[in-house]
Structure 1
């Protein structure tokens, strides 16, 4: 197995190809983007930021890193990796983007599980703290600060896009995928973390409509539900799970106090893995 950085990057200002340099990536129009000391590239221009520090905070990233590296979501990573390897071309280098890659757990797992497959990998996240954490842990993958709404990727250059618990932008995914390229998306099901949500919220909202609809430019190949009980053995693991989800900010103070008082908890993991193909 060979894992290498994916390098078909595009200038986020004009879409021109970026040429790598030791200290910066540049396009033919003179736009330049520095390479950080840790090896990642910052491709989110100031004028395209909605805040000074968008995306997950340093604390959220640290909580997610502890939780995922402890193996709590290993079953999700294994199912995702197997589905991804099935979707990639045989006997050639498969190019993969994780759109909203966080601290890189799922790409690291895919790389480790690749076997004889050769992969060119890139993770893009809007949080500089997430990309920094990813770059520190994995030097064989390209890491970039960027936005799913304006992916710094050249057109029709990817075989596979991963979007895990994130914000899919299908028009951008269609632009960067080769014809016949695929998207694997992981979303939460109706019962995901239900036991925790019942503790922190006065009442639960009804589940959203999960009817499978073909999106413009894509057709649905497969949809699989993955459910399993997850035992959180101590206060730290419960706190990390809560800190890596939007529930930390949506719950009121009373709900957060109830969660903080728990010594242990068993929750249901309920996720949907969907595979889409670019038409």
Structure 2
């Protein structure tokens, strides 16, 4: 059975969560090839196992190399492992009475966050997780579908998601833009939004190399937090700060992964790229909201 058929079979167990992104009608899996709505709008499964539910083709700045580098950093170097653990613990704490959880990662990239968090929630907290990952980047979703089978992966617009109302217990939004109208629409009663934003020390070792101005060497998330508070009911927030030691290939992978390096000449990274190893700071804030 190839990936396209496997994914179509898996998704057919959850087809009721979808709505057509064109006309909002309900959808069904058709002949293990497509997702089709009542008005015959048809979206085919890709051979990698994801489904593209965008209405217009979108080109993003994020390429396949960036997503492969991000996956390597997460899986091989455990770059976000403490974060995955903290998120899984938060999910468990706020869903004590639930044995099954529907979890969507809005802006899933190459899927490693969703995969790791789902695994921890399942293995350490004995909850059955239905995981859905969406991103506007076809390249990211393709990498996700290639590496993680037991999830639903879709290319989709975060401002017009292809899901019916009130389908998810938890929305993850990790270092990614938010659409609070959609968050509120998609959440079940008492559903959770877990949003991760950088704090001032996030990747400071890279920022100090890239930026000469002290104000750009640190980062403020004040505007993001303010907007979160204005749009959704904040119930808790916490900080998470740790360092990860990277060897030389790890340093190169980090530089390849981060958009911070896009407008930077390689010359600026010369010293860092020659280092045998370096410690990198991961400084994040976890914002938790609950739907009333």
Q: TM-score, normalised by structure 2?
A: 0.86
Asked if 1:59 is matched to 2:59, the reply is: no
Tell me what 1:148 maps to. 158
State the shift of 1:216 in Å: 4.3
Asked if 1:260 is matched to 2:273, the reply is yes
- Give the CA deviation at 1:88: 3.1
Which of 259, 270, 274 lines up with 2:287 in the alignment? 274
Whether the 8 Å CA contact 2:198–2:219 is kept in 1: the answer is no
Of 152, 162, 177, which aligns to 2:172? 162
Answering whether residue 260 of structure 2 is matched by residue 247 of structure 1, we say yes
CA distance, structure 1, for counterparts of residue 255 and residue 240 of structure 2: 20
1:156-214 Cα offsets, whole Å, 9 max, x none, are: 11111000010111111111111221100111110111122112222242532537546
Alignment-derived partner of residue 210 in structure 1: 222
1:83 aligns with 2:90: yes
Matched with 1:110 is 117
Structure with the larger RCO, 1 or 2 (CA within 8 Å, 6+ apart): 1
- Greater CA drift, 109-118 or 55-64: 109-118
- CA deviations over 1:62-101 (Å, ceiling 9, x no partner): 1101111111221111111211232336244211100011
Whole-angstrom CA distance in 2 between matches of 1:258 and 1:16: 56
Contact 2:199 2:221 survives alignment (8 Å): no
More helix by share: 2
The Cα offsets for residues 217-250 of structure 1, whole Å up to 9 and x where unpaired, read as 521111110011211121x211211222211213
RMSD, aligned α-carbons: 2.0
**Given the alignment of the two structures, is residue 220 of structure 1 paired with residue 234 of structure 2, yes or no?**
yes
4+ aligned runs moved over 3 Å, structure 1 = 4-7, 211-217, 256-259
Question: What are structure 2's unaligned runs of at least 5 residues?
Answer: 1-9
Whether the 8 Å CA contact 1:217–1:278 is kept in 2: the answer is no
Distance in 2, matches of 1:188 and 1:207, equals 7
Q: TM-score, normalised by structure 1?
A: 0.90
Aligned pair in 2 of structure 1 residues 41, 209: CA closer, same or farther (>3 Å)? closer
Q: Of the candidates 182, 188, 191, which is equivalent to residue 178 of structure 1? A: 188
Instruction: Go from structure 1 to structure 2 and tell me whether the alpha carbon gap of 1:55 and 1:98 turns closer, same or farther (over 3 Å shift).
Output: farther
**Cα drift, residue 59 of structure 1:** 0.8
Q: Give the deviation of 1:251 after TM superposition.
A: 2.6
> Deviation at 1:24?
0.1
Between the two proteins, the alignment pairs up a number of residues equal to 271
